[in-house]
Amino acid sequence: MIWLTIFLMMLIVFSSRYMFLAPKLPLKLNAEAQKLLSYSSPAVLTAIWAPIVFLQDGKPEITLHNPYLISAVLAAFIAWKTKSVLVTAVISMTAFFLLTTVI
């Protein structure tokens, strides 16, 4: 039963992706739909990182003792200044590692 569920989910995901990416299929989205879909990636990523950064053990933790928050603010600042994903990732991960070993 588990294998059937995995296979069906794989089939659903593949077919939904294939419809939009296959160049020979005549399916095209209008400009409004494309504009709406441009907000989906930031929304999903925010839904992933926001609870990690702002919640500790299910409670809001917005203090200077929260290494996730400090590293996130640092990462946002570095990304804004450098516009480099690699530099941002390396520096913010190093900062997070140092903060978690010190605090």
Query: Do residue 9 and residue 49 come from a single domain?
Result: no
Query: Do residue 43 and residue 24 come from a single domain?
Result: no
Query: Do residue 44 and residue 15 come from a single domain?
Result: no
Strand-strand pairing, 59-60 and 55-56: antiparallel
Range of the domain at 15: 1-30
In this prediction, residue 96 carries a pLDDT of 95
What would the two tokens of residue 77 be? 């600042």
Per-residue pLDDT tens digits for 51-76: 999 998 889 999 988 999 999 999 99
Confidence band, pLDDT 50/70/90 cuts, at residue 87 = very high
Mean confidence (pLDDT) of the chain: 90
Query: Do residue 52 and residue 87 come from a single domain?
Result: yes
What would the two tokens of residue 22 be? 């296959």
Query: Do residue 51 and residue 92 come from a single domain?
Result: yes
In this prediction, residue 15 carries a pLDDT of 87
